[in-house]
Structure formats: structure tokens, C-alpha cells
Amino acid sequence: MSNDKLDALIKRVASEHGIVLSQDDPVLMMHTLNEVLLEQNEKAHAELLSNYQAILEESFNQWQTVASKKANAIISATANNANLTRDQFVVNCTQLIEEKIKTGVGQEINELARISRQAAIINLFAAFLILLSVVVIFLMLL
């Protein structure tokens, strides 16, 4: 402790308590020891705070890494689910369209087959009438 600080302390004790201390007074020795201990404690606390800050930063970085990995996993899972949902939707739509086409085409084919049958029957009947007419004309000519 410097002489200026000791002189200031001696003056303060004298003014506040009315007791004059000398430079070799044991009370001043205790004061000096207290200051040394406070300085050592201050250094130790500063070191502890520095270490704590390093630990906090490391923990923060680890948490950030873990959070990033989890966020990426969630995003990936969500994208996969969206793709699966889209694929299922496309398959369902394709199946519905296929069913509608089969149903519609099947009905149209049935209708065309019915009309074709009717046309074939009419053509057969017409051919029979023509044959009958030819036979009648041939018999009349004889």
C-alpha cells in the first residue's frame, strides 16, 4: 500500500474517530492485509468469471449446434412428409381419373356395341329383304 493511501487512511481515522495512528500501527497492518486479500479475491473472481463466460459460450455453441441439427431434422422430416403426401395425392388422383375413364369408356363402348348390334341386325334384315326380293324377281321371270 502506498504512503499516500496510508496517510489518507490515517487522516480519515483521525477525523472520524479522533485517534491518531502511526505508520507501524497493527491496525494499519490489518487494513493492508485486507486490501491484499481483496485484490487476490478480485483476481480470483475475474478468473472465475472468465472461465464461466468460456463455459457459457461453449454451452451456447453446443446448444446452437444441437438446435440446428434438430431444426434440420424437423425440416427434412416435414419435406419428406410433404413429398409423401404429394405422391399419395398424385396416386389417388391418377386412380380416380383412371376409374372415371374406365367407367366412361366402358359405358361408351357398351353404347357403341349396342348401336353396332342394332346396325348389324338392320343390315342383316336389309340383306334378307334384298335376297328375298331377288328370289321373288327371279321366280317372276321364270
Domain that holds residue 75: 3-141
> How many Å apart are CA 94 and CA 101, to the nearest integer?
10
What counts of helices (H) and strands (E) characterise the chain?
2, 0
- pTM (global) more than 0.75: no
Structural domain count of the chain: 1
What residues have CB less than 8 Å from 14, skipping those under 6 apart?
20, 21
C-alpha dihedral sign at 83, 84, 86, 91: positive
Q: What is the pLDDT of residues 75-124, one digit of tens each?
A: 999 999 999 999 899 999 899 888 888 777 778 888 888 899 999 999 99
What is the residue type of 107? Q
